[in-house]
Amino acid sequence: MRKRTEPVALEHERRTASGSPSAGPAAAALDADCRLKQNLCLAGPGPAEPRCAADAGMKRALGRRKGLCFRLRKILFFVLGLYVAIPFLIKLCPGIQAKLIFLNFVRVPYFIDLKRPQDQGLNHTCNYYLQPEEDVTIGVWHTVPTVWWKNAQGKDQMWYEDALSSSHPIILYLHGNAGTRGGDHRVELYKVLSSLGYHVVTFDYRGWGDSVGTPSERGMTYDALHVFDWIKVRSGDNPVYIWGHSLGTGVATNLVRRLCERETPPDALILESPFTNIREEAKSHPFSVIYRYFPGFDWFFLDPITSSGIQFANDENVKHISCSLLILHAEDDPVVPFQLGRKLYNIAAPSRSFRDFKVQFIPFHSDLGYRHKYIYKSPELPRILRPPPRPNCRASAEPRLLESALGEMCAGELHLGVPGEVGTGTPALSCSPPGSMKASALVPLSSCQPGPPEMRPEREHRFQGRPWQT
């Protein structure tokens, strides 16, 4: 049948094309038959139309799903490859690890002029620039006690340098990594210390802020030593305390150990949120969580730190320090775990180097929310830092109460739990055995005389002295 139909159709097409008149009614019938078959083929069975559309939709959905899975698989393989590649990259380029420790390229807040500390509310602060080494310049801020803020208006650097020889004690503040000397929480601490009657001298290490140079542990320690010597030349017999925060505690213990070795120790060392050494801190840092259980973590991440010459060995340094030590640490510190500060205290307390000095550890309860850098908010900080009055000097009833509180600290344990309230409770302060701190053992103040007439305070102050020292 098919064989007969095909030649007929071909013959019909030839005749139609040639325009032969012999086609007649037969050709018309053949045309109708062909059109009918074509229409039936095109139409197809009616109920199949919805099924075809559904099949096409399912194919498109499956295609989209396969495309999404393919993209997610690509992203997953990329992240996994990056996760595995980073340890090898850090191992091959130890300088990356050093950058991550210093974070000196992070300048927060960014849009501030470090030459104008008054823009940060420090209207009794002067900006200096010192040169510890050739091709190295460091920016320094010197904040005088708050009671001198009126006299300090419009004064030049020479006036500020002369002010260091007044009867007020001096704190050299060593900040942590990232940011500059103009960081918000740092400025707030300067204000608190200044209100307590301290001179505050702080600076940016080489490579930080507007200081020129390449950062390194040795360079940071040398910068601190240079500033300390610069202060001592101008301060005379005034007490000088060193305060280190976070990474700055590593610089502080390096500095104080060197000062003790040359027999010129500071009057006291204050460590805020300290760690034991940089390896333990790097292992405990929240950024290391995703790699902490990675095979060969020490080899990939910790050994490059040591090979870069970065140690900040607080646990070793405190064994060679011979001055009073005060450690402040918040229990909810997420950057430097609280247990590292406690561990450092447990290493320092029995050390022979501290046999003639007092070592104190003061924690701040996690409910206070001071975390890593807000201890300055504590209402107990003035009481902790304010030294007892000098014997044979006029003193109001308040200093006597403070002296009594200090006596209680060394007779037992004090719990700093609720803001504005001191009460007994969880052990919070460790110091000398009961009865070891006597009034006669307190180091007297360097001077009870007021400062020069142009810098004489408007009221009597009780801030001079050497706290935490027996």
Note down the domain range covering 278. Answer: 117-385
Mean pLDDT of 51-76: 74
Digit-coded pLDDT (tens) for 385-441: 875 444 443 333 333 333 333 333 333 333 333 333 333 233 333 333 333 333 222
Where residue 163 sits, what CATH number does that domain have?
3.40.50.1820
Determine the Cα–Cα distance for residues 313 and 321; give it in Å rounded to an integer.
Answer: 13
Which residues are annotated as catalytic?
A: 246, 333, 372
Band (pLDDT 50/70/90 cuts) for residue 258 is very high
| SS3 of residue 373 by DSSP | coil
Q: Is residue 99, in this structure, part of any structural domain at all?
A: no
Q: What is residue 109's predicted lDDT score, i.e. its pLDDT?
A: 80
Q: DSSP state, 367? A: G
Report the chain's C-alpha Rg in angstroms: 39
In a domain, 315, yes or no: yes
* 241, containing H or E segment: strand 240-245
Q: How much is the pLDDT for 214?
A: 93
Please check the confidence at residue 118 and state whether its pLDDT lies above 70. yes
**Phi and psi, residue 415, nearest 5°:** -110, 120
Helix (H, G, I), strand (E, B) or coil at 376: helix
Helix (H, G, I), strand (E, B) or coil at 140: strand
Arithmetic mean of pLDDT, 73-90 = 83
Q: What is the pLDDT of residue 13?
A: 58
**360 with 430: CB under 8 angstroms?**
yes
pLDDT over 80 at 8, yes or no: no
**In the structure encoding, which two tokens stand for residue 339, read together?**
């247990």
Q: How many CB atoms lie within 10 A of CB 238?
A: 20
Residue with tokens 């609720």: 418
Q: Between 187 and 298, whose confidence is greater?
A: 187
* Beta-strand pair 125-133/136-143: antiparallel
Answer yes or no: is 60 within a domain: no
The verdict on residue 71 lying in a domain is no
Give me the residue label for tokens 């101008």: 234
Residue 430 lies inside a defined structural domain of this protein:
no
Question: Which amino acid would we find at residue 217?
Answer: E
Q: Judging by DSSP bridges, how do beta strands 268-272 and 324-330 pair with one another?
A: parallel
pLDDT digits (tens, 9 = 90+) for 299-311: 888 888 888 889 9
d(CA 349, CA 351): 6
Per-residue pLDDT band for 76 (boundaries 50, 70, 90) equals: confident
Residue in the block written with tokens 């924690």: 363
Mean pLDDT, the chain, rounded, equals: 77
| 189 closest CA partner among 245, 106, 115, 113 | 245
Does residue 70 lie in a domain region?
A: no
According to the model, what pLDDT value does residue 46 have? 53
Q: Does the pLDDT at position 232 exceed 80?
A: yes
For the chain, the domain total comes to 1
| Inside any domain, residue 79 | no
Q: What is the DSSP string of 393-418?
A: S---HHHHHHHHHHHHHHHS--EEEE
86 found inside a domain: no
Give the Cα-Cα-Cα angle 76, 77, 79 (nearest 5 degrees).
65
Distance CA 367, CA 419 (A): 10
Burial 394-412 (b: 16+ CB within 10 A, else e): ebeeebeebbeebbebbee
